[in-house]
Amino acid sequence: MRLTATTFVTMDGVIQGPGAPEEDPSGEFGQGGWLVPYADDDLGEIIGARFAAADAFLLGRRTYELFAAHWPHVPDDNPVAQALNQLTKYVISATITDPVWRNSTVISGDVASEVTRLKALPGGELQVHGSPQLVRSLLADELIDEYQVLIYPVVLGHGRRIFDDPGFAAAFRLAGSATTRSGVAVLTYLPAGKPRYGSFASDPEPEQHRILR
């Protein structure tokens, strides 16, 4: 299976509590629900298509518990609920031992080895949603095949961020883009190894660099 990840993020990189004020108030975060005003039909189609492509899900513990408290109570005529409730869900956790959400399997061993094993199984997409700590770990281990980032036109100034580890560095190649009428930028990236660096201070200065000044 291909491992894909999807992240909702503000323009200043915040990923905390996108769906509701009470979703994740940790760290005195009081701006939950920032995604909701931008949830138009365009976004619904994009998210619906994303979940329709899933064959299984891989989730971190916090995201799994948030999903498990909500989606089992949503009718399966909702495409997101249908996928999440019916497909296999692998949850990375050392504390969950008996998950009650149907079709759930706990993974508590070495994450990189277990995910490598899952990727070798037949199927289409193994999808990660939310789960920022897990996403960072999978990116660092070069296990993610496609990374979709939905950037919302809002700046919060406070909250947990997707990339908050000063030791992490990576490069990506843009593979697709779309925008919604509410202003959400949907960017699909493929991993491209480590960042490359250069300088505009080289001599002689290339013509394109002079144009950029």
Residue 196 near residue 171 (C-beta atoms within 8 A)? yes
Is a pLDDT exceeding 90 seen at residue 66? yes
Question: Tell me, what DSSP letter sits at residue 206?
Answer: P
45: number of Cβ within 10 Å: 13
CB 12 within 8 A of CB 163: no
Residue 89, pLDDT above cutoff 90:
yes
Is the entire prediction scored with pTM above 0.85?
A: yes
Q: Which domain holds residue 64?
A: 2-212
CA–CA separation, 117 vs 123, rounded Å?
A: 13
- For residue 63, give the nearest of 33, 125, 19, 12 by alpha carbon: 19
pLDDT value of residue 159: 95
pLDDT in tens, 148-189: 999 999 999 999 998 888 888 999 999 999 999 999 999 999
Residue 166: what pLDDT? 82
Give just the sign of the alpha carbon dihedral 21, 22, 24, 25.
Answer: positive
**CATH number of domain containing 157:** 3.40.430.10
SS3 content of the chain, % helix, strand, coil (to 5): 30, 25, 45
> Do 42 and 180 contact (CB within 8 A), yes or no?
yes
Q: What are phi and psi of 198, to 5 degrees?
A: -155, -170
Task: Place 210 in a pLDDT band, splitting at 50, 70 and 90.
Answer: low
Tell me the CA end-to-end span of the chain in Å, nearest whole number. 45
Least reliable range by pLDDT among 2-6, 133-137, 180-184, 187-191? 133-137
Average confidence (pLDDT) over 130-156: 95
**146-152 and 88-92: which strand pairing?**
unpaired
Overall number of domains in the chain: 1
